[in-house]
Each structure stands twice: as C-alpha cells, then as structure tokens.
Structure 1
C-alpha cells in the first residue's frame, strides 16, 4: 500500500512539472530538479499557446475565405456558420458593455474568448498521451499541455489587459483627467491625495491579478482532478469518472473563457468612461 502511494505521488508530481528552460545557462532543466530563478521559462506553455493561437488564426482565416465566396453564391457550411455564431455572440455582448466605436475591442474579445477556450480544452487530451509521444521522439517526459494551468500564461494575458486599461483610459480621457481620477477620487480634496492614490492604484492592480488567478485556479484544479483519476483509479474504471468530469470541464472551459473576456472589456470600459 505504501509503495502504491509513493508511485501515485511520484506520478502526480511528474505530471505537474513543466518543460523548463534556464535563460542563464541556456539549458533545459532536468526532470525532478527545481529551480526558482526568475530567468526560467516554461517551454511547453509557450509552445502550446503559440500552436493554439496559430490554429485559431488558420480556422478563422478559412472562415474569412468562405465568407468571401458567399458573394459568389456559394452556400455556407457548418464550420462557417459556427464561426459566425461565435462572432455574432461576442459582438452582441461587447456592444452592450463598450458602446464606443473601436477597431480593437471586438477582435480582442474574439481572440481572448477562443484562445483561452482552446487552451482550457487541452485538458481533455489524455494526460499521458503527449508526454509518451515526446518521450519516444525527443526523450522528454516532463511536459504540460494546458497553458492556462500555468500561472505565467494567465498573468501574461492579464498584463496585456492591464496595459490596454491604462491606454484606453488615457486615450479617452486625456492624461490630465486620467491622473486626476487617481488623485481626487473618491475624496475630492488635495489633503486626501495619498489616500486616494493608495485606493485607486490598489483597485487598478487588483483587476489583472483577479483575472489571472481566477482562470489559473479553475483550470489548474480541473487538471489536478484528471491527474488524480488517472493516478488512483484503475484504467478500466477511469471512464466512469472521466466522462462526466470531461463534460463538466467543457462547460467550465467555456464559462472561464467567457468570464475572462467579459471582465476584460468591462475593466477597459470602466477605465475609459469619461465622468467629467
């Protein structure tokens, strides 16, 4: 029993390790070795994020070509109709939140929703499949294929949203009014400027932090459950729990992608509103 417990523990820890690259030594960190240096990047998260982003672009580029062909009286297919439903759904939601015209907000919302959803859905791939393939082909056994279960990935996306919050705030209000909100709100007196700065800066910084932690926590916990099912339950019985959890995970993946998209647009809209 103790041996089985140790094997399960090692199995779980193994699947929680990233394929890491040390920028100081330009070497891949060996499996089982821990390194908390700042100059460590998770190659697997970067690789799968780029692949899924490229996949997203290819799919919607194909959709664009097919839409162009409609003008030549070609009937749209199921794939194109699905893409159009997604686009219309996102456009309808952001139009109510961000009424100001912008060439960036709609494409940004679509990219956030589809990209994060694809990253979340990587958890549906059997957890031993990709590590098995990479181990046979490249002798790499430590690899995680769910980018959104990596805090570095979710924080990186949130930082981009944070930059856009500041950019649109300054663009729509001008720099003077943007700074004025941080110094004279909620207490409109120069004596309270230090207190206002603490409150407003804390509120501003908490937005990307909450975005990243919410997405990371939900997807990471879902991945842990898949690993536990694989580690502790015999393979012949795993489908009993895997199937219903996979269905629930698809719903969670959609919901988390939608929440991240909507909150991003809400935060940008709130900062961009001109209250003067």
Structure 2
C-alpha cells in the first residue's frame, strides 16, 4: 500500500519502487533489500516459534502458544495426508516454508512509502527522493528461485535416500517408458532420461514462478492504486476504497501462495519415494 506517488508521475513512481539496493558480488547482482528482509523475517520466525516451544505447558495454553500449536497441527495434518512415511524432518521443513513465506508475502501489506517517509523525516525530501527500499522478498525472483532450488536438491536427496544411487539412476533411464527387449530398452533410455530431467527441472521452475508471479503482480496493483491516491481529492476516496479492498483480498493471496508452495514441496518430496 502507498501514501503518495510523488511529483514524477505514476510511471516514475513504479520504476522507483521496483529498484533494489544492490551490490556486485561474484560477477552477479546481490539484492541487499531482499537478503536483509528475508534474514530478519527468518530470525523472527525462529525466535517466535522457539520461544513458545520452550514455554509450552500442558495446561491451558496462552494465545501465543495456542496459535503456534494450531499452525503446527495444521501443517502436520497436511504433511500426514501427503507424505506416508517418517515425518520427523518433513513437518519442520513444511512449517518453516509456510511461516517464512507467509511473513515474506505479508510485507506486501505494509505501505510502500514507509521507508521514504521515515528517511524524509530524518534527512529531508531530497534524500527520500533518491532512496528506495523493496521489502517484499517474494516479489524478487531471486528469493523464490533460491527456495525452489533448495527444494529441488531435497527432492534429489530423498530420491537417492529411498532408492539408492543405482536405483535412482536406473529409474531415470528406464521410466516412464519400459521395455523388455534390450534393443528397444537401449533406444528408450535417452528418451526416458530427457523426459525425467525435464520433469525434475519443471518442478523448481513452477514453484519459483508461481510464487513470484503472484506476489510481483500484487505489488504492482498496490502501486497502480497509489496513482489514484496521488491523483487529487477527486480520486482519493476511490483510491482508499480500492486499496482497502485489494489489501483484504491480498491477505488470501498471501496465505494461499504460502500454502501452495509448502504443499507442493511436500508432494514433490513424497513423490521421490514412489516408483514409476
């Protein structure tokens, strides 16, 4: 959400808010905003859930403990429905993904201009005009891609754990098209390998692009609505109404996209234990 569009017009306002504080690192661009916000939110999640885990009692729980227990129970039930095996490492992974993504997505509900307003109050309007801070990590493809790559390697790990290195390699070469004849089997091996490689690569790509696309699109809508808020008194009231309506609807998107990312990660890992 936003408070003003500034004097340069909506187009310049949007371009300004899509900029990242970044540095060149190892031949690439490192987004400081994304890294800092993701780290702070990750540590917040650990401290939050860790605190109530240490303070948990068997009696009547506090509101904070009740929320943590409900979140854990909800995620564990989802894992139980999709992963039929030892959940001791899968449920912690799932709750971490879910809550971390919820927190990162939820940053989209904060006013876009808050950093600028804070800097303007301290250093003046000139400094605020040349300052940008993008605080929705999941609206940055680097974040969603990095998380998806981690899930991808977890899929490979569990596939090898379940089938062994030889069994996993054999499955890549002999499924989905199986044949009894040795000649036919040899012909189908490269086809199977290519199809399996494509299938494995599609999983992290779809995870990353789905979350990124929804959050980036939501961020742009907030910026466009900011144009109404900055369009004078006539457009201010409609802008406030649209902003409120989109924020309420966006809460659903924040939660739904976190759930989808979490549940697909669990489903993909569960699929690693299944034979084709």
| 2:157 matches 1:167 | yes
Measured in 2, the distance between the counterparts of 1:164 and 1:135 equals 45
**C-alpha deviation, 1:274, in angstroms:** 4.2
Kept in 2, the 8 Å contact 1:63–1:83? The answer is: yes
**C-alpha deviation, 1:96, in angstroms:** 1.4
The aligned counterpart of 2:213 is 217
**C-alpha deviation, 1:137, in angstroms:** 5.8
| Correspondence for 1:84 among 57, 60, 69 | 69
Kept in 2, the 8 Å contact 1:184–1:196? The answer is: yes
| 2:112 matches 1:122 | no
The aligned counterpart of 2:55 is 66
Q: TM-score, normalised by structure 1?
A: 0.87
For CA contacts below 8 A with separation 6 or more, give which structure has more relative contact order: 2
**Count of residue correspondences:** 255
**C-alpha deviation, 1:58, in angstroms:** 1.1
Measured in 2, the distance between the counterparts of 1:87 and 1:271 equals 24
**Runs (4+) of structure 1 moved beyond 6 Å?**
none
The aligned counterpart of 2:136 is 146
| 2:180 matches 1:178 | no
Measured in 2, the distance between the counterparts of 1:47 and 1:132 equals 20
The aligned counterpart of 1:23 is 25
Specify the SS of the correspondent of 1:174: helix
Where does the alignment leave 5 or more consecutive residues of structure 1 unmatched? 25-37
Measured in 2, the distance between the counterparts of 1:221 and 1:79 equals 32
Measured in 2, the distance between the counterparts of 1:128 and 1:154 equals 24
The aligned counterpart of 1:34 is none
Q: Structure 2 vs 1, CA of residues 253 and 14 (structure 1 numbering), >3 Å: closer, same or farther?
A: same
Q: Structure 2 vs 1, CA of residues 21 and 80 (structure 1 numbering), >3 Å: closer, same or farther?
A: same
Kept in 1, the 8 Å contact 2:23–2:32? The answer is: yes
**C-alpha deviation, 1:242, in angstroms:** 1.1
The aligned counterpart of 1:193 is 189
Residues 229-273 of structure 1 show CA distances to partners (whole Å, capped at 9, x for unaligned) of 113434742321111111111101100000000000101111222
The aligned counterpart of 1:228 is 224
The 10-residue stretch of structure 1 (119-128 or 100-109) with the greater mean CA deviation from structure 2:
100-109
Kept in 2, the 8 Å contact 1:66–1:76? The answer is: no
**C-alpha deviation, 1:23, in angstroms:** 2.1
Q: TM-score, normalised by structure 2?
A: 0.87
**C-alpha deviation, 1:6, in angstroms:** 5.6
The aligned counterpart of 1:267 is 268
Measured in 1, the distance between the counterparts of 2:120 and 2:153 equals 39
